[in-house]
Amino acid sequence: MKKIELEIVALSHSITQTHSYAVVLGEINGLRRLPIVIGGFEAQAIAVALERMNPSRPLTHDLMKNFMLAFSVDLHEIVINDLQEGIFYAKLVCSSSNDTVEIDSRTSDALALAVRFGCPIYTYDTILDQAGVLMEDDNKKTAQTGVTSESGPKEDLKSMSLEDLNNLLNEVLEHEDYIKAIAIRDEIKSRESR
C-alpha cells in the first residue's frame, strides 16, 4: 500500500465531544483532511511543540524524545495505519545502530512525537477514504498550522434538508471548519445509506 504524507493543519476544540480536541491532518499536495479527536493533554503537548514553547520542566513527550536521543534511537516516521470503530491506530518507525522497529502507539502520542522530531506523518488511502474530508477547491485552501477555536453556533443538522446540508458543508469547508464538516458529512452519509 502506498503511504500518503500528511501535515498538521489545525488543532481545535472538538464540537462533537466535550473536553476533547481535534487535530486536523492535511494531505500534502492534496485536498483531503483527516480530523482526529484527541484528549486535552495530548492537544497541549502538540500545541506546545507546534508553537515551539519551552516549558520549565519537560512534558512527557519531551521526556520520551530526550530518552530516545540519549540512547541513540531515532524516530524516522509515524504511520496512521488502521481505523477500527472510530479509533485510529498508529505506529512509530524507529531505529538504532542495530535495528529498525515499529512500535504501536496512540495516534495522539505519535503526533506529539512527530512534531518534536520533525519526522513525516503518513497514512493510507483507505483511511482517508473512510474518515477524511475532501476540500473542493484548492484555491480556497489556506490552511495554517496552529491552534484554532470553535466557530459559530451548532446548527440542528437533523432538521436540515439534504440540499441545505450539502450547501452548509461547502460553506464550512471554505472556512476550514473541518470539525463541523465531519458532523455534516456524517449526517449526509447516514441519510444516503437509508
What are the structural domain ranges in the chain?
Answer: 3-150
CA neighbor of 168 nearest in space, from 151, 186, 190, 184: 184
* Residues in contact with 124: Cβ distance below 8 Å, sequence separation at least 6, in sequence order: 1, 2, 3, 4, 80, 81
Question: What residue type is 79 in one-letter code?
Answer: V
Range from 30-39, 138-147, 171-180 that averages highest in pLDDT: 30-39
Does pLDDT of 146 surpass 80?
A: no
Q: What is the pLDDT of residue 148?
A: 37
Return the residue matching grid coordinates 488502521: 82
- Kindly state the percentage of the chain with pLDDT values over 70: 81
pTM for this structure? Answer: 0.71
Mean pLDDT score, 25-52: 90
Confidence category of residue 181, pLDDT binned at 50, 70, 90: low
DSSP SS3 for 160: coil
Confidence of residue 149 (pLDDT cuts 50, 70, 90): very low
- Return the minimum-mean-pLDDT range out of 59-63, 94-98, 181-185: 181-185
Average pLDDT of the residues in 47-68: 89
Domain 3-150 fold is: Bifunctional nuclease domain (3.10.690)
Question: Quick one: pLDDT at residue 11?
Answer: 86
Give tens-digit pLDDT for 99-122: 999 999 999 999 999 999 999 999
pLDDT of residue 156: 78
Contact 113, 64 (CB under 8 A): yes
pLDDT given at position 177: 62
